[in-house]
Amino acid sequence: MTNPEPADKIVPRILQQYSERPRGWHILSTPRGEMLVLSPDSAFQLKLIPLNPYEFTGAGVELPESCETVERIRSSPEFGLRPLNESDLRGILNSITGDSGPKLSLDDIMKRAPRSLDDLSTDIPTPVLQGPVLMRPDLGSLSPEILKRQLSLDRSAEKTFRKRFPERAGFYF
């Protein structure tokens, strides 16, 4: 098994890969901060501990090879960032409220190609549809190998949290 890396090292690598190639990504998450992030070429398992709404710490590992569980997740709808314009928002609102006028479903938007982080305009902020992100109560129930890796990531994330934020760690662990 590959050794866990701190989240602040592995997450930028994941974001860089997404920016280079935003097609073919799949994400599975749990309420406890466990994640499987699958790119077209690789897969990552993470344990993230939120510090505030904009920051986190934790640990992650790149999965050495694919397994049946990962392949099942790859058959789910593709994750991505899809910008929305004013007519998209009006179409969604018309669909929800039943108003007359052009209607638009989320399925129509999901068929669009995802955009990279670099492609999203920072000059004129627009809403972005993010997802889908699959949810599960815990990752360990997917397979014994994922459970084993998750237990290791839990320990590593807690160790990283205690090292970086010793005064806060006393409240949580």
**Counts for the chain of helices (H) and strands (E), in that order:** 6, 8
Phi, psi (rounded to 5 degrees) for 89: -65, -40
Supply the pTM of this predicted model: 0.85
Same domain, 61 and 92: no
Which pLDDT tens digit goes with each residue over 143-153? 888 999 999 99
What SS3 class is residue 37? strand
Same domain, 147 and 162: yes
Query: Which pLDDT score, from 0 to 100, does residue 121 have?
Result: 67
Which pLDDT tens digit goes with each residue over 93-130? 888 887 777 877 788 888 899 999 888 866 667 889 99
Query: Which pLDDT score, from 0 to 100, does residue 1 have?
Result: 55
Q: What is the DSSP string of 79-123?
A: BEEEE--HHHHHHHHHHHH--SS----HHHHHTSPPB-TTTS-SS
Residue 18 has pLDDT above 60, yes or no: yes
| Residue (of 131, 148, 145, 115) closest to 27 by Cα position | 131
Please enumerate in sequence order all residues whose Cβ is within 8 A of that of 151, keeping only pairs 6 or more positions apart, or say none. Answer: 140
Alpha-carbon radius of gyration of the chain: 18
Domain residues for the domain of 55 are: 1-79+132-173
Same domain, 32 and 47: yes
Same domain, 85 and 114: yes
Same domain, 105 and 141: no
Same domain, 108 and 153: no
